[in-house]
């Protein structure tokens, strides 16, 4: 196990009806004027947005609204939000929605107090300072409600990149599993896939003697394997929804990733798919992960064999990857590039953007360092 510092100060408020506490929590963390940032659609139709606004009214906190967040959130709306926050004197950003709304909120919060272009943070500059952020989570998936991470797509060039820093870790996150019960099965399955990806990205490590975090990751993977099919079969299974929602948060606070190197190559490779085809991130990961895992398996067969034995109950590394892929298909996820709208002739563009786009040097690094040729072969394996 390697040296580490772990700091996770987010206050989590979990359970039925907890969205009514939003105003009180904003007040407790010093907010006096709020930007409510959301997508639209179900947040409005379900009455959730009205309940959140009522809680702010009750706490005596004024607010302005900015809707319109899309899956794979875009830079254009971030710039709009930064300008709005500065003009209106906003001192707290409240995200209402899933990972896209939260990631966009974090980008706005960081950009508002920064003199330069917020995209600097998505080119590697750590985020040390930002407006405080709170969340009301509606989708168990990205884990952004408990992380210091954000992913945004830059519309000029359609580069999808991540930023990190303690400055954007949420001050509080409201987690009501009831809010996820109206999600379509496909969105639910995409969320399950994303959660499992966050676990696998940490499991694929070159660090030695990390039994504690190995076991934590394995337990959460088993939870997803057991609870995922329950909510696909019965969307109103509150207890299964609750277990999945908390597993999603635990998967990405980095409590499972401390003291060990991590991978994230599957995420980097998938980001090009959702940037180019605007597919759901979880769906892209379902296609990407088995291809990546098969390609890098021989780097550490014992590690893939361990998760195959402990989580999937099979003997070999390859059987474990196949069992994972079969599970994803069983909950309704795609398994090929074509199912995402992808085309073989796009692979050179995908590889160029992945390996060289926005200042990269030709490789991506993680469990294994992958070059242009490696990435080309992985994308071809998805066909």
- pLDDT confidence bin for 48, thresholds 50/70/90: very high
- pLDDT confidence bin for 42, thresholds 50/70/90: confident
Report pLDDT for 2: 97
Tell whether the model's pLDDT for residue 95 goes beyond 90: yes
- pLDDT confidence bin for 302, thresholds 50/70/90: very high
At 254-277, the pLDDT tens digits run 999 999 999 999 999 999 999 999
What distance in Å separates the CA atoms of residue 42 and residue 29, rounded to the nearest whole number? 27
Mean pLDDT value of segment 118-144: 96
What distance in Å separates the CA atoms of residue 327 and residue 339, rounded to the nearest whole number? 17
Report pLDDT for 358: 78
Mean pLDDT value of segment 285-296: 98
Mean residue pLDDT across the chain = 97
Report pLDDT for 352: 96
Report pLDDT for 41: 82
Report pLDDT for 183: 93
* Percent of the chain at pLDDT exceeding 90: 97
Closest of 161, 199, 181 to residue 73, by C-alpha: 161
Cα Dmax for the chain: 60
Report pLDDT for 377: 98
Tell whether the model's pLDDT for residue 317 goes beyond 90: yes
The answer to whether 57 and 46 are in contact (CB under 8 A) is no
The answer to whether 354 and 268 are in contact (CB under 8 A) is yes
At 147-157, the pLDDT tens digits run 999 999 999 98
What's the angle, vertex CA 316, arms to CA 310 and CA 319, rounded to 5?
90
At 179-232, the pLDDT tens digits run 999 999 999 999 999 999 999 999 999 999 999 999 999 999 999 999 999 999
Mean pLDDT value of segment 89-117: 97
Torsion, CA 293, CA 294, CA 299, CA 305, rounded to 10: 80
Report pLDDT for 248: 97
Tell whether the model's pLDDT for residue 68 goes beyond 90: yes
Q: Does pTM surpass 0.75?
A: yes
What distance in Å separates the CA atoms of residue 217 and residue 210, rounded to the nearest whole number? 11
At 76-87, the pLDDT tens digits run 999 999 999 999
Closest of 173, 147, 146 to residue 162, by C-alpha: 147
Tell whether the model's pLDDT for residue 281 goes beyond 90: yes
Q: Is 146 exposed, middle or buried (0-12, 13-18, 19+ CB in 10 A)?
A: buried
In DSSP terms, 163 is beta-bridged to 150
Tell whether the model's pLDDT for residue 357 goes beyond 90: no
Tell whether the model's pLDDT for residue 359 goes beyond 90: no
């Amino acid at each position: 196990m390697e040296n580490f510092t772990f700091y996770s100060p987010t206050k989590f408020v979990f359970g039925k009806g907890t969205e009514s506490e939003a105003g009180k929590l904003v007040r407790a963390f010093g907010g006096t004027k709020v930007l409510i940032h959301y997508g639209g659609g179900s947040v409005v139709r379900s009455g959730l947005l009205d309940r959140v606004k009522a809680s702010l009214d009750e706490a005596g906190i004024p607010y302005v609204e900015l809707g319109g967040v899309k899956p794979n959130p875009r830079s254009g709306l971030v710039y709009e939000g930064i300008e709005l926050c500065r003009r209106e004197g906003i001192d707290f950003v409240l995200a209402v929605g899933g990972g896209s709304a939260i990631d966009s909120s974090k980008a706005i919060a960081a950009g508002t107090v920064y003199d330069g272009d917020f995209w600097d943070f998505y080119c590697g500059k750590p985020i040390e300072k930002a407006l405080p952020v709170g969340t009301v989570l509606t989708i168990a998936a990205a884990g952004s409600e408990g992380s210091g991470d954000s992913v945004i797509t830059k519309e000029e060039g359609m580069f999808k990149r991540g930023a990190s820093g303690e400055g954007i870790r949420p001050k509080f996150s409201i987690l009501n599993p009831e809010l996820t019960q109206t999600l379509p099965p496909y969105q639910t399955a995409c969320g399950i896939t994303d959660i499992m990806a966050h676990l696998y990205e940490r499991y694929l490590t070159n660090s030695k003697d990390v039994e504690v975090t190995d076991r934590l990751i394995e337990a959460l993977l088993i939870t997803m394997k057991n609870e995922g099919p329950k909510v696909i079969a019965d969307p109103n299974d509150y207890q299964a929804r609750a277990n999945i929602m908390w597993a999603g948060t635990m998967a990405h606070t980095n409590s499972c990733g401390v003291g060990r190197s991590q991978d994230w190559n599957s995420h980097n490779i998938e980001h090009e798919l959702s940037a180019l085809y605007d597919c759901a991130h979880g769906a892209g990961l379902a296609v990407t992960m088995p291809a990546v895992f098969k390609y890098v398996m021989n780097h550490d067969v014992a590690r893939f064999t361990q998760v195959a034995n402990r989580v999937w109950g099979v003997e070999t590394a390859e059987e474990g990857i196949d069992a994972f892929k079969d599970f994803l298909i069983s909950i309704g996820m795609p398994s090929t590039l074509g199912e995402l709208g992808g085309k073989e002739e796009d692979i050179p563009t995908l590889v160029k953007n992945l390996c060289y786009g926005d200042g990269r040097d030709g490789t991506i690094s993680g469990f294994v360092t992958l070059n242009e040729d490696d990435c080309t072969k992985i994308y071809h394996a998805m066909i």
